Structures are given as structure tokens and as C-alpha cells.
Structure 1
Amino acid sequence: MRSTLLQFNDRLYMACIWVAGLAVLTMTLIIPWGIFARYVLGTGSSWPEPTAILLMVVFTFIGAAASYRAGAHMAVAMVTDRMPPPLKASAAILVQLLMAVICLFMTIKGYSLCKATWGQYMSAMPTLRVGLTYAPIPLGGLLTLVFVLEKLFLGDQSNRRVVRFDLVEENEGAA
């Protein structure tokens, strides 16, 4: 069971990395196009800036979930580093529980925000619902919650090597 959960979370983690990475890549292609269209072609496009902003939101919330699992998030450990080991372990559990509360808040309130603004459309992109633009908030909260629960119940996975699934499984079947 533990192995199955870790494999699922490994795939979820890699999906978060890919989504965040593709969001940054797409932003780096869209922004120069907006500059080129405005200054070279002389006709400014209305979609590059809001699209880049939306991609930054995706990158921020989905990338934060991946960063949390990788242990690459910001942490101020000045106080906890000076605690005795039993107290340090209790503080670590308290931090995870508080993170779970924050993730639940993001998921529930983010969903409410999406639902409340679903009937509105963006002025710069009239076919895009405002509620959809807020979707990375509850999604990022839910993904981070999965990784928080993993850390609480299965331990810290930031130093464990993520298993590659593509060629490893095919080669094992051939042997």
C-alpha cells in the first residue's frame, strides 16, 4: 500500500513539475510575441499579457505544491533548530498540521471563489470565465494537501529518489 501511494504521489509530483515548467515555457514564448507585435508590427495584441499573468498563477500554485514535496520551499528554522529533539519532533508535526489547515482553507475558499465568479468573463479574453482563472488556487491547495498528508503519514520524501516509470517498467517486462 505504501509503495502504491508513493508511486501515485511520484507521478503527481512529476505532473506538477511538468505543468509548472510548461507554464513558464509558454510565458517565455508569449511575452516576446506581445513585444514584437506592439513595437515591430505596430499592432498590440490584447491577449499576451493576461495570458502570461494566468500562466504565472498556474506556475505559482502548482509549482508551490511540487516545491513543498521536494523540500525546496522557504522555511525559517532558526527557533526549531535550537529545540531539543523531542520538542523539535512535536514542532514538525504542528507545522504539518498547520500546513494542512492552510491547504484546506485554500481548497475550500478557492473553490467558493471559482464558483462565485463562474458566471463572469474576463474583459481582455471574453471567452474565458473568471472562475476558471481562479482554479489554480483550490487545485494547488489540494495538491499541497496531498503532499502534506504524505509527509505526515509516510515521512519526508524530499531526499528519496523519484522512480521513473516510463522505460523501467518496459525493461523489467522484457527481462
Structure 2
Amino acid sequence: MRILNTIESALSGFLFLLGIVISLYSVFMRYVLGASQSWATEVYTMLLVWAIFIGFSTALKEDKHIAIEFLYDKSGPTMKKVSQVIVFIIGIGFSLFIIWTGFNMVLTAYSQQIKTIDLGFPIWINYLIMPIAGILLFIRFCEKAYKYFVKHEEVTHGGDVEWKQ
């Protein structure tokens, strides 16, 4: 999991920074030099989308997703366990849905040979982020469920994990 953590963080950060650099280049070229770079919009949009979708998994790993902590904190131990099971089921189901839908999008775009307007880049490569993000989310939800049920860790919000005795 450490290798996955490193790859996720590095790739997401790199894609985000590269997208920002290309965006700034495009703005400079358009407004300072008066030479519009239409290809840049396609590239930085794709890079930022990829960075964000990979970042979903990182956010889940670090408990940075939105949570209704008020209700969770006011609940008793049984309700907390029930809510965790519901979260795991919905999360794993959502991940599988994203994987399935993403693969269908990739296969459809590939079979139809759809390309981007400015660069003529195969759009199925852009769509690959959907199943990849779904797989990463699936791994993270399974990891959290494993820690909760097998290792008996208390899954808390805000990134802190306390061990149950």
C-alpha cells in the first residue's frame, strides 16, 4: 500500500502541476503575445481531470471527504458500526459502478474511434481515468473495511485512527 500511496500522490501532484503550467502558458500566449494555443485547453483539462480523479482516492485514504460528523459523533456504538457498514457497502458499490461505467465509456469511445477536436487525440485515453479512479476507490474502501473489521481499528473522521482494545 505504501507503493500505491507514493504513486497516487506523486502522479496526482505531477498531473495537477503540469496542467497548471500549461494553463499559465496558454494565458501568457493569448493575452501577452496574442497567439492563442487551442490545444492547451484540451491538454490541461485532461491533466486536471486525471489529477482530480486520482485525488479522490487520496482524499478517501486521508479521510478528507465530506462527512456528517455531528450525527456520527452523537450516535451510540451500535449505530456507528451500522453506519460504517453502510458507508463501506455504498462506497464499494459506487466504486464498482464507476469501474463498470468507465470501462463501457472507454470501449465505446475506442470502437467509435472518437478523437479530440484540436489535437486529434483518442478520447478513450481520456476516459481511462474513470475505471482507474474506480479501481483506486475500490482498493481504498476495501482497505478501510479490512482495517475496521479484521484489524479492529476504529474508523474515525478527520484522519485520526484509534485502536480498539
Separation (CA, whole Å) in 2 of partners of 1:113 and 1:121: 13
Alpha-carbon distance in 2 for matches of 1:122, 1:50: 8
Q: Partners in 2 of 1:10 and 1:100 — Cα distance?
A: 21
> Any stretches of 5+ residues in structure 2 without a counterpart?
149-154
Report the alpha carbon displacement of residue 132 of structure 1 after superposing the two structures with TM. Answer: 1.0
TM-score by length of 1: 0.80
2:68 paired residue among 60, 76, 85: 76
What SS does the aligned partner of 2:70 have? coil
SS at match of 1:72: coil
Decide which of 125, 136, 147 is 2:129's aligned counterpart. 136
TM-score (norm 2): 0.85
Report 1:19-168 matches (<5 A): 19-118=11-110, 119-126=113-120, 128-155=121-148, 156=155, 158-159=159-160
Q: What is the CA deviation profile of residues 6-46 of structure 1, one whole-angstrom value per residue up to 9, with x for unaligned ones?
A: xxx12112211111101111022111111121122222111
Secondary structure of the structure 2 residue equivalent to 1:78: helix
Structure 2 distance, partners of 1:159, 1:63, is 19
Aligned residue pairs: how many?
Answer: 151
Distance 2:123 2:141 in 1: 29
Structure 1: 5+ residue runs without aligned partners?
1-8, 161-175
Displacement after TM superposition at 1:68 (Å): 0.4
SS in 2 for 1:117: helix
Identity, % of aligned positions: 21
> Separation in 2 of the partners of 1:116 and 1:81?
45
Runs of 4+ off more than 6 Å: none
Distance in 2 between residues matched to 1:49 and 1:14, nearest whole Å: 28
In the TM superposition, residue 159 of structure 1 has moved relative to its aligned partner by 4.5
Letter matched to residue 23 of structure 2: I
RMSD: 1.7
The one-letter amino acid of 2:135's match is: L
Partners of 1:17 and 1:39 in 2: how far apart? 33
Displacement of 1:130: 1.0
